[in-house]
Structure 1
Amino acid sequence: MISLQFVITSLLVVLMPGTGVIYTVSSGLFKGRKASIAAAAGCTAGIIPHLSASILGLAAILHTSAVLFQMFKYAGAIYLLYMAWGTWRDKGGLSFKAQDDHKNLFHIAKRGFLINILNPKLSIFFLAFLPLFVPHDASSPTIDMLVLSLVFMWMTFVVFVIYGLFATVVRHQVVHSPRVVGWIQRSFALAFAAFGLKLAMVEQK
């Protein structure tokens, strides 16, 4: 059921730097190990609705409904631009003090969840991606897609955690340089803005 081709293809997809990776890395870099894991968990949880929609066939509705697609698209773009603006203008929020309390970690995970759930392209991607690896003679294709979805989610979480933990390793090398901190902060802001604008220009296919 789980082919080597699926594992390799999924790994390549997950490794590609995207909004979730940028958010997880920024969380690890500025807020510590637990924050990076919370961000990874939130981003991974954000793909659950898309995977579920693909399994249930609801993504087909999103694919054919221009109005629904535009609503999701612009909501996601606006949220990413909001994050870009907040990151750019934040003068004290990007400190290197670990935020380990449950409230802050939940907030970090929630933002990661919203980043992914507001991207309508994910539903369409999974609708086209998962069926490619389900055998034509499968007795229960829904179960096969569910298993593939769980594997993809697990790979996403592991890879994102690795990205985030790597960021925590290098965070102490820049903590004493306000100029580097400011440069990194603005780089993340520009990255969020770029992803937001890119999402806003996406056309329905």
Structure 2
Amino acid sequence: MDDAYWLFVVMVVFTVSSPGPGVLMTLDNAVAAGWRAAMQGVLGLALGAAVMAGLSSAGIGLLIRSSPPLFQLLKYAGVAYLFHLSFKTWRRDPKTPAPTGRREAAPAAGAARKRLLEGALLQTSNPKSLFFFLSVLPQVAHGAAGAAVATYCIVLVLIHGLYAGLAARAGVWLSRPGSARLLSRLSALMFFAFGVTMLTLTM
């Protein structure tokens, strides 16, 4: 593997571990429902990243980048979804988290699919993800785009899995009604802030 690949790995680690809507979703899911439930959303984020990488490789990213109306449409869809997450998180019942002994039970199939879909939607509704792959992949792929995308997804799952584990361990305190309500309010405000920030995003 050449130096460009390892530079890509370093960029991915910093990109994936930096605070953002994806990290916030992982932490929020871990506190609300435990590590295994949070990993459903993480797998959705990884799936969304693979889709965005595929779109970039197919040239659709260039089309969006060269078309202001398409870019604006994608941007406002992402903003609307972040605002939806903010509203849903703000209204969440602080008594929703299960008792400590039941938090790591396998999530129901419907809830698992919902978290998977939410993660994928969050990732694919962010134009910054598309532009990351559009600007970085050509520099490191050299005919091995699949390996680069797989690396990104693996790093994402590992780092978010660590975040989810740390958040789940803190869940005993964070799942108390008062603490859970405060966390929900802070998470909702952060989702809203991310949405407002995305409004300022330009090509």
TM-score, structure 1 as length reference: 0.89
Work out the CA distance in 1 between the residues paired with 2:58 and 2:86. 34
| Aligned partners of 1:55 and 1:146 also within 8 Å | no
Confirm or deny: 8 A CA contact 2:74 2:125 kept in the other structure: yes
Tell me the distance in 1 between the aligned counterparts of 2:114 and 2:123.
15
Following superposition, which runs of at least 4 residues in structure 1 exceed 6 angstroms of deviation?
Answer: none
Counterparts of 1:60 and 1:89, CA distance in 2: 38
- Asked if structure 2 preserves the Cα contact closer than 8 Å seen for 1:77 and 1:197, the reply is yes
Given the alignment of the two structures, is residue 133 of structure 1 paired with residue 132 of structure 2, yes or no? no
Q: Is the 8 A contact 1:50 1:123 kept in 2?
A: yes
Partner residue, 2:185: 186
Corresponding residue SS for 2:98: coil
70-79 or 88-97: bigger deviation: 88-97
Displacement of 1:130: 1.5
Partners of 1:42 and 1:113 within 8 A in 2 = yes
Q: Which runs of 5+ in 1 are unaligned?
A: 135-140
Percent of matched pairs sharing the same residue: 24
Partner of 1:107: 114
Matched-pair contact (CA < 8 Å) for 2:43–2:157? yes
Q: C-alpha separation between the residues in 2 aligned to 1:23 and 1:93?
A: 19
Question: Could you tell me which of 14, 18, 21 is aligned with 1:19?
Answer: 21
Structure 2 distance, partners of 1:83, 1:174, is 19
Contact 1:94 1:185 in 2 (8 A): no
Is the contact made by 2:30 and 2:37 (CA closer than 8 Å) also made in structure 1? yes
Question: Which residue type is aligned with residue 194 of structure 1?
Answer: A
- Aligned mates of 1:132, 1:85 — CA distance in 2: 39
Cα deviations across residues 136-172 of structure 1 (Å, max 9, x unaligned)? Answer: xxxxx3x312211111111111111111111111101
The separation in 2 between residues aligned to 1:5 and 1:64, in whole angstroms, is: 27
Quote the offset at 1:82 in angstroms: 0.9
Q: Are 1:85 and 2:87 an aligned pair? A: yes
Deviations 1:54-112 (A, max 9, x none): 22222100100111111111011001101101111222574235471111111111111
Determine helix, strand or coil for the equivalent of 1:47.
helix
Letter in 1 for 2:178: R
1:138 match:
none
Displacement after TM superposition at 1:197 (Å): 1.1
Look up the match of 1:149.
149
1:164 is matched with 164
- Normalised TM-score (structure 2): 0.90
